[in-house]
Amino acid sequence: MPRPSDPKLEHRILNAARKLWHRNGEKALTMRAVAEAAGTNTPAVYRRFRNRDELLLALVRCFQMELFGVLEPCRSLRELAECYFDFALQRPREYELLMSGLLARVRKTRPNFDLLLRRSAEWLGGAPEEYEDLALALFCLAHGAVVHVLNRNIDENEAHMKKVLARGVEALVAKEGKFRRIPPPTQL
């Protein structure tokens, strides 16, 4: 007689994987270690996730949604950038996974970038797609600030970098017209 399936097993596996990743990053995340931490066996993990990359992609989606939960209540582009900065510095291992090459494979779902586009249109007027260039510039600015602090590339402290990031966001938003992609009017 087959064992009844555990409806919470996938959640336990993801929880175990996230804890292992948070503690020791990529080197800690083996299917065997995840199975052990989840209180199951390796074949059970493989039945839910074909391989380690699939498990990592599931973690990327989880971390994307956690970041979304932090960004969604923001009420300005500056606040979005500051919350992004704080999230990345408070959770550097998770940020490392979010910014890994795996993100390119999850491109179908980009909730945080899409939120940035929607909010840009909502707060500055126009359509979300008009703000692709501004959103990319804001992302590059925020990501650069995060990487410099995490890697200790410069002597500035975290608080000062956050202030510089905020001023940079305000400068880009003030010049948003230079970044805005407004389609030419259609001719009749």
How many residues would you count in the chain? 188
Tell me what pLDDT residue 2 has: 53
What integer pLDDT is reported at residue 25 of this predicted model?
A: 81
Q: What is the pLDDT of residue 123?
A: 95
Which two structure tokens, joined as six digits, stand for 155? 């002597």
pTM: 0.85
For the domain made up of 60-179, the CATH class stated in words is mainly alpha
| pLDDT beneath 70: ranges in the chain | 1-5, 102-108, 183-188
Domain 1-49, CATH homologous superfamily name and number = Homeodomain-like (1.10.10.60)
Instruction: Estimate the share of the chain in helix, then strand, then coil, as percent rounded to the nearest 5.
Output: 75, 0, 25
In this structure, what token pair is assigned to residue 9? Answer: 């097993």
* Predicted local confidence at residue 35, as pLDDT: 94
Helices (H), 91-157: 92-98, 102-105, 111-124, 132-151
Q: Say what the pLDDT of residue 86 is.
A: 97
Domain ranges of the chain: 1-49, 60-179
